Chain A
Amino acid sequence: MIPVLGLIGGILIGLFLQPEVPLWLQPYLPIAVIAALDAVFGAVRAVLDGIFNDKVFVVSFLANVVVAGFIVFLGDQLGVGSQLSTGVVVVLGVRIFSNVASIRRHLFRA
């Protein structure tokens, strides 16, 4: 319950305050969002598996976001930024899909 409240609260804060994202951070935002989604779905699956650990969740979330951002940054420096972000999106997307599939099996037994 608390995480859901926190999620809604964060979304509302973002919607009402509408903080400006600095321009240099904007290329990393989509990747960061996908990395965060990956961490969230991983956490939901872990809760359903009964092996959730808050420290692991926070660390994996932060690490995901930082590493994804770093990969995009590196790609930008090497001139292959868009390709590397595509790669990150594919990998994280696959993870999100299989985590969601596992969650679905837990919830609906199908």
Chain B
Amino acid sequence: MAPSTSHRPPPSPTTPEGRRPDESMTLLTSMMERPLDPGYAAAAQRRTDAGLPGGTSTRTPMMLVAALVVGLLLSLGALSLRGPDTAASRTRQDLVRQIEARRADADARARQAQSLQAEIDRAQANALGGQQAALAQRLAALTLAAGSEPVTGPGLKLTLDDAKGPAQGGVVGDPRNGTSSDDGRVLSKDLQIVTNALWEAGAEAISINGQRLTARSAIRFAGDAILVNYRPLTRPYVISAIGDPQNLQVEFADNEGGSYVRALEDNYGVRVTMAGAKKLTLPGAPALTVRNATKASVPPTGTPSTTGTPSTSDQTPTTTEPAQ
């Protein structure tokens, strides 16, 4: 190549013998030193030889077309090369959107069910009002006891939260489930034992994170989440129990719940706070309708509870999820 094609002074001096010291790397040096297409310089040389200025204008139709093609190529590359990995992420986002939409839908329907329930209650009270006051009173007492109505009263607020970090998650080398990451976590079993102890201590109504416990409630694990009334809860778990605050606290501390909570705190670092409250308001439980169970025609002197339950108890999980 003629020296005129190089646009930089040659950076490496020649050795006395006229050989460049980096001659063994000519491929690399030519690549590094002459990145510009030599064609440009050759064309410019030809033009100056013919008496024209060295460079041509960039404002030619050919340039416009070439630039269009380059731009098209760039955007095409960007679009189609981004494609493959968005196929998976698009599905994922779609699923996330579906989950969110359905959760919002379910929440809206739960609210609707609650307002409809309130309407039914009002209509019932209207229908029963006046002449059948005794019936209305009995109905009110029953709904209160069954937990389908919001209730308010003094009580106890118990907050359970996972241990702070795996490092502080209790005593070192204390295997709860074998894995250390599970050590300080609140399990469904903990909530079950605590709520049972609260019932035992005389609680009249209990809700966990706003989910009212009724005769048909279940506290269970699904994957990593704790489900109450088939709704997943997030930590911290706030258990509100209505009852005489003093008695409730004393009884709870005395029975197995108190010692269990202390053991959770001491051994696993589960954070537990207990506080009496002057006024707690618990929501009513939605959808307490019974579909398959009918009133057994056994005289009340018999044992209605044992004849009525077996057929319904193993069907409750399917019957309690009509809205999903």
Given contacts A6-B68, A94-B31, contact A53 B73 (CB under 8 A): no
Given known contacts A15-B79, A26-B80, A98-B32, A36 and B73 CB-to-CB distance under 8 angstroms: yes
Residue of A nearest to B46 (CB): A53
28 contacts between A and B (CB under 8 A): A2-B60, A2-B63, A6-B64, A6-B70, A9-B67, A10-B68, A10-B69, A10-B74, A13-B68, A13-B75, A14-B71, A14-B72, A32-B73, A33-B74, A42-B35, A46-B40, A49-B40, A51-B44, A54-B57, A54-B58, A59-B39, A60-B39, A91-B31, A94-B31, A95-B35, A96-B35, A102-B35, A102-B36
Tell me which residues across on chain B come within 8 A of A94, comparing CB atoms.
31-32, 35
Question: Contacts A46-B36, A98-B35 given; 8 further ones with Cβ under 8 A?
Answer: A6-B66, A10-B70, A13-B71, A46-B40, A53-B40, A59-B39, A61-B69, A65-B73
CB distance from A42 to the nearest CB of B (A): 5
Tell me which residues across on chain B come within 8 A of A37, comparing CB atoms.
74
A43 to B69, CA, bound (A): 15
Tell me if B236 is interfacial: C-beta within 8 Å of chain A: no
Q: Is A11 an interface residue (CB 8 A)?
A: yes
Given the contacts A10-B74, A26-B80, A40-B70, A53 and B62 also touching, CB distance less than 8 Å: no
Count chain B CB atoms within 10 A of each CB in A14, A36, A55 and give the residue with the most: A14
Q: Verify A18–B71 contact, CB threshold 8 A.
A: no
A91 vs chain B, min Cβ distance (A): 6
Cα distance, A18 to B78, chains bound together (Å): 11
Residues B70 and A61 in contact, CB atoms below 8 Å apart: yes
Q: Does B187 contact A (CB under 8 A)?
A: no
Q: Which among A26, A45, A47, A91 is the interface contact of B58 at CB below 8 angstroms?
A: A47
Is residue A74 within 8 Å, beta carbon to beta carbon, of the partner chain? Answer: no
Least CB distance, B270 to chain A, in whole angstroms: 52
Residue tally, chain B, CB below 8 Å to A = 39
Q: Which of B115-170 contact A (CB under 8 A)?
A: none
- List B residues at the A interface (Cβ < 8 Å): 7, 31-32, 35-37, 39-41, 43-44, 47, 54-60, 62-81
Q: Are A50 and B55 in contact (CB under 8 A)?
A: yes
**CB < 8 Å neighbour of A51 from B54, B58, B69, B77:** B54
How far is A104 from B42 in the complex, measured between Cα atoms in Å? Answer: 23
**Closest CB-CB distance, A6 to chain B, in whole Å?**
3
Q: Given A6-B64, A6-B67, A6-B71, are A51 and B43 also a contact pair (CB < 8 Å)?
A: yes
In the A-B complex, the 4 residue pairs with the smallest Cβ-Cβ separation, listed nearest first, are A10-B71, A6-B67, A14-B75, A51-B44
Chain B residue nearest to A23 in the complex (CB): B80
A56 within 8 A of B: yes
Cβ of B68 to closest chain A Cβ, rounded Å: 4
Contact (Cβ within 8 A) A56 B39: yes
Q: Which residue of B lies closest to A21 (CB)?
A: B80
CB pair A32–B77 under 8 Å, yes or no, is yes
B59 & A46 in contact (Cβ 8 Å cutoff): no
A1 within 8 A of B: yes
Q: Is A80 an interface residue (CB 8 A)?
A: no
With A33-B73, A55-B62 as contacts: A9 and B80 at CB distance below 8 Å: no
Task: Give the docked Cα–Cα distance between A54 and B41 (Å).
Answer: 12
